[in-house]
Amino acid sequence: MVARPSIKLQRREEILDAFESCVIRHGLTGATLQKVADESGLARPLIHHNVGSRDELLEALLERLDLRYEQEREEFRQHLPGSDRCRAMLDIMFDHRYATSSHEGQLYQALSIGAEEHPNLQRSLNRWYGSLLADIEYELLDEHPQAETTDVRAIATGVIALYFNAESMALVTDRRTVFQDSKRAAQRLVETLKWNG
């Protein structure tokens, strides 16, 4: 028998959304269960009912971020044109991110602060960074086969730094300006790969 239908999956998403917002605004330690409850509009015990303890909440967030990262990776591949892919990549990383007012960079940075205390978190951040770096390196090297691998890695590191820092800087300066400048810098950085050939 099914009786009252379960809405755990929806509640889960609502709670994790609220948790993300709280982590971005108050940091991992500052994201209190009470704040998460207030942000989601649910009573605090419902967090336990739908997701679990505080550790399980973080665990669930990491799993969801893993999924989201893979999805965006897939979309990225589909939307990429056959040629001029590096240009399209930067468009997605900066223009699209600016338009949708996403906060992934802030979330990543907020999570990386408490990483020492949470081994799983540390591992996830490691995986994401390594994967992102490898993806960007691949695109760069594909369009610039003659480039040195050392240079490619340096450029990819720079693009990621601009990508992650744009949102943080947007807290202290004009968001539009920061995103424009960040993209411009990233474009120039990529163009330097043509120096070798």
Contact residues for DNA, defined by CB under 7 A: 1-8, 11, 32-35, 42-46, 48-50, 53-55
Residue 172 has what DSSP assignment? T
Rounded least distance, CB 48 to a copy of itself, Å: 22
Q: Of these partners, a copy of itself, DNA, none, which one is at the site of residue 112 (CB under 5 to 8 Å by kind)?
A: a copy of itself
Q: Which residue has the tokens 């610039």?
A: 144
Rounded least distance, CB 86 to a copy of itself, Å: 15
CA dist 190 and 156 (Å) reads 8
Rounded least distance, CB 108 to DNA, Å: 21
Rounded least distance, CB 186 to DNA, Å: 37
Q: Of these partners, DNA, a copy of itself, none, which one is at the site of residue 149 (CB under 5 to 8 Å by kind)?
A: none
Q: Are 114 and 121 in contact (CB under 8 A)?
A: yes
Q: Are 150 and 92 in contact (CB under 8 A)?
A: no
Print burial letters for 76-114: b (CB count within 10 Å at least 16), e (below 16): beeeeeeeebbeebbeebbeebbeeeebbbbbbbbbeeb
By the criterion CB under 8 A, which residues form the site for a copy of itself?
A: 24-30, 106, 109-110, 112-117, 122, 125-126, 129-130, 150-151, 153-155, 157-158, 160-162, 164-166, 168-169, 171-173, 178, 180-182, 184-186, 188-189, 191-192
Q: Of these partners, a copy of itself, DNA, none, which one is at the site of residue 21 (CB under 5 to 8 Å by kind)?
A: none
CA dist 36 and 60 (Å) reads 14
